[in-house]
Chains A and B, each alone.
Chain A
């Protein structure tokens, strides 16, 4: 019954999306702005129906209803409660339902809360959102029905990939999707503005909070995903340049550029065409990423059940939406008046530089991700791995981070090069000091990129805080704080990355229980191997004691886990976090003569990578709050003035 109700809710939502699109069409063609009030409840009902369908699917997973094919293939009645819920989106169909749910709810939010946009542009935006949703409803209903039944029902399910049985999965995909798919709102805004030829500062002001909200979630999602890969895969790395990771990074890069160009458009009414283009590109990257991951044309560790037919369907959607939006851009952008001009030395120029660098990085990541596909088209089989990305993307990122620190120190419209130089003096001195300090500490032991990363991080950290210099901190607007914290977060994250690649100490040993191993100031005593059992797994656990210098001993327990449904082995690394780094211990295979492979890493300041990510998201949240609060304040003031 529940499955049928879910399916019915989806069909109804699709019908409402069609109605929403038709209302927008008649409203725009007939010039009837008042149809907007009819569109609002339709969009809200559509969002509620998708959310209901999603909740019903979660219910089916929690109840372990094995008569539903999706539950039977991805869940197991023995699974802990949390993972039954998380299992809902740990598969292709469920995650696509999450996708349309985010899209529907975001559309409902735009209908309910957006008040700054002109009525006709608002209508066109909601129409565009409905049009995109329709394609994905069709994909779900015709090619990936999550509610399909199995007859006869199997006695129990096949279980969830054990790598996914982790609290990280409960949190990471929904956050990522809200960001990833939330960018559809920016896309719809751009299409709406092109249709009604309204690209101006007011439009950018209206669009900015939506982009910011999606970007915050995307930042959190990527940060969480990176940490999850770091501790769950047991390889000690935090970013693998896997196609799926790139698929989430590319929309983030585009959205970051969009945030900054939207600020230029909102503040100075410049960069009109460019901002529209980025809004289209950001969500296009989300769609391309989804296509790459689910069509199976690239091999990835994250592969979903691959099905070329689904790939063809998504490719059709890509052609329709991206092709359509870019064609609309081509036809309409010529009629958009050119925006305001600006001088060479100005914050606008700095932001253009930032945008260009972000776009170049985006292009390089895209090419790197698609490279195997391109060479295959010419008959070679090549894959580009981390070496390509690290070497190519690393240096440009360093330049980008320097430009990031320079932007806020430059005035809008026109500034004097000398004055800007003067403001950059202190960060430049820090750069030199850091260079001397790091050289003295580790000359010859670290690579060029980590070296540059460390000293640039130090300088940029200071440069990021510089906009607060000589300001009354209590009267500094919240969005300025947001910018400072987000930029500082970038420097912190960069410091973590550089420190990890410069100073990580790795030790691989085959040890017998009873032996003691020393590395990087730590001593590890391998006490014994004990079998342990969990809800749906058994494990061999290494009982170990570690201490640093003469410090107190701490017990750690890395495991090698065997899951029965489906049969898989995972490593559960033992992590010990200290203020200045993390100790990372993995219990590997049994080697000959009672020895066990142990992998021990000491990673100085590695946690800064994710701390920086959280700071970036926090900065975004403060900026969002600050802008919105200013809006409320102005409204309240207006009201009291009228009274």
Chain B
């Protein structure tokens, strides 16, 4: 009994070591594999969220060209942080639509005036209903939608500078 106790600390440490090693070896997954990946967009039709951009409906996505669907809100700080990356994507020729969550039109206008407007269409999701249907749990999140209106990728959290190249690649592959 006593002899076993002596080796217990080493055994415990080895268990932790195994845990650490497995944690290290696993690839970093900031990208959560969504259950909706591979599924068509849920059907929705939202009113316009900004005064100078049209409204957004799911039917508008099957255009033959892949595009981004950005979930954002004017009250969300990381959304302001990812604005430059969205502008960069827009400049690279990507079409971006957006859904503003629990927002008000004057606030969205002010946000876009301040941080830039990379969006083609912006829908207002005042009660987060579409956000829920999309399986999105927070803002910002960005979906890559292929030309047939299917979700191919979900990016959780703000798009950082080093994410831009990856998203461009997914868009290219989505054709």
Contacts and interface: CB of A to CB of B under 8 A. Distances in A.
Interface string A338-377: 0000000000000000000000000000000010011011
B14, B19, B23, B28: which has the most chain A beta carbons within 10 Å? B23
Interface residues of B, number: 22
A319 interface: yes
B24 interface: yes
The majority secondary structure among interface residues of chain A is: helix
Contact of A318 (B3, B9, B17, B104): B17
B14 to A, nearest CB: 7
B6 interface: yes
Given A315-B17, A323-B13, A370-B19, A295 B24 contact: yes
A326 interface: yes
B24 A297 contact: yes
Given A296-B28, A592-B107, A377 B13 contact: no
A574 B155 CA distance: 37
B13 A592 contact: no
A377 B23 contact: yes
A588 B169 CA distance: 38
B10 A326 contact: yes
A333 B104 CA distance: 70
A594 interface: no
A113 B122 CA distance: 71
A567 to B, nearest CB: 9
Given A296-B28, A334-B3, A592-B106, A291 B20 contact: yes
Contact of B23 (A281, A334, A373): A373
Given A315-B24, A323-B13, A373 B19 contact: yes
B10 A329 contact: yes
A333 B77 CA distance: 56
A329 B9 contact: yes
Contacts of A386: none
A370 B28 contact: no
B16 interface: yes
B91 interface: no
A422 interface: no
B24 A308 contact: yes
A312 interface: yes
A152 to B, nearest CB: 22
A429 interface: no
A273 B17 CA distance: 23
Contacts of B104: 592
B10 A315 contact: no
Interface string B14-37: 101101111110101000000000
B7, B20, B22, B28: which has the most chain A beta carbons within 10 Å? B20
A311 interface: yes
A374 B20 contact: no
B17 A323 contact: yes
Given A296-B28, A322-B13, A330 B20 contact: no
Contacts of A296: 28
B21 A315 contact: yes
A630 to B, nearest CB: 34
Given A273-B6, A592-B106, 14 more contacts: A280-B9, A281-B9, A288-B16, A308-B24, A311-B24, A315-B21, A318-B17, A318-B20, A319-B17, A322-B13, A330-B7, A370-B16, A374-B19, A376-B23
Interface of A: 273, 277, 280-281, 284, 288, 291, 295-297, 308, 311-312, 315, 318-319, 322-323, 326-327, 329-330, 333-334, 370, 373-374, 376-377, 569, 589, 592
8 contacts: A281-B9, A297-B23, A315-B17, A323-B13, A326-B9, A329-B6, A330-B10, A373-B23
Interface of B: 3, 6-7, 9-10, 13-14, 16-17, 19-24, 26, 28, 75, 77, 104, 106-107
